[in-house]
Homo-oligomer: A and B are copies of this chain.
Amino acid sequence: MSTRDLGLPEQVVPPKGELPSRVTIWEVGPRDGLQNEKSVVPVAVKLEFLDRLAAAGLTTLEATSFVHPKWVPQLADAEELLADLTQRDGVRYPVLVPNARGLDRALAAGVGHIAVFASATETFAQRNLNSTLDEQFAMFEPVITRARAEGLEVRGYLSMCFGDPWEGAVPAAQVARAGTRLLELGCSELSLGDTIGVATAGQVERLLDTFTENGVGVGSLAVHFHDTYGQALTNTLAALRRGVSTVDSSAGGLGGCPYAESATGNLATEDLVWLLDGLGVGHGVDLDALVATSAWMAEQLGRPSPSRVVRALGG
């Protein structure tokens, strides 16, 4: 099976070790970064956050989620946020949609780009979606089909791609099968998530190679790393060297569990930008403006940013 069989453009697979000339940063701070914050951030602050991120040059901002407010009270203001959001030209504002009800809300809000959130493992599918690994695709199929029919673009998140707290290491072949299903269902991009932050660089390379061997080009793949064990940026570089050119990150490293001193969240967008600048890989972000935004957001949240770059430059 090639990516053409999936209805996707043929992917150019760059030579191993060669870096992409440009990376698209998929900024998840406003959604993944904030969703676990206990104190609800005022919608005006979220709007300013989004606008400052766009002003800093980020062109993909995952704005919010249409998950049920009971599960994520922080994002219960999704409709209000989107109604008041001034969308900038050239910026995408995708939103997370967990199910058919979420899609209804997204369509009513006039959203043009959604993301669905699937599991690569049986146990997490049970715990997060109350379904089997196979059943989740049956659930997503009508959601993705309808979204596509309505002209929306659909990203597929695949979580627990490397390790799972209940199952341990996750076989690459299993992840490639689950990811391929999402692409077959109509996702235009697949984001491979290390939800618990345990992956190391060699594992990242092996998973990407497994996708390539199964006909899925890196042009359809994004990576999503958490820094729980300090590996997020190293894993990202491994993925870049396999030709991946879309990287998820969170301004200021927002995310994770905010209640523990040990909170470590997503890969920090600033630390990624520092790396890309050093490698001469284009990204379009004004680092100073981004650091100022994350330092301001850290003040709003009342604790320092976990991003090393924000700590070094944002003082």
Contact = CB atoms under 8 A, between A and B. Distances in A.
Interface of A: 17, 197, 199-203, 227-231, 233-234, 237-238, 260-262, 264, 268, 270-271, 274-275, 277-280, 304, 307-309, 311-312, 315
A189 B309 CA distance: 31
Given A200-B274, A203-B278, A230 B264 contact: no
Given A228-B308, A230-B270, A230-B308, 7 more contacts: A197-B312, A200-B274, A203-B278, A229-B308, A237-B237, A262-B312, A262-B315
A238 B229 CA distance: 18
22 contacts: A197-B312, A199-B278, A200-B275, A200-B279, A201-B275, A201-B278, A201-B279, A227-B308, A229-B312, A230-B233, A230-B268, A230-B270, A231-B233, A231-B278, A233-B234, A234-B234, A234-B237, A234-B275, A261-B311, A262-B311, A264-B308, A264-B312
B200 A271 contact: no
Nearest to A281: B202
Nearest to A263: B311
A271 B231 contact: yes
Contacts of A234: 233-234, 237, 275
Q: Copies of this chain, how many?
A: 2
Given A201-B279, A231-B274, A279-B202, A311 B264 contact: yes
Contacts of A231: 233, 271, 274-275, 278
A17 B242 CA distance: 13
3 tightest A-B contacts by CB? A200-B278, A230-B308, A230-B271
Contact of A229 (B199, B262, B280, B309): B309
A109 B138 CA distance: 73
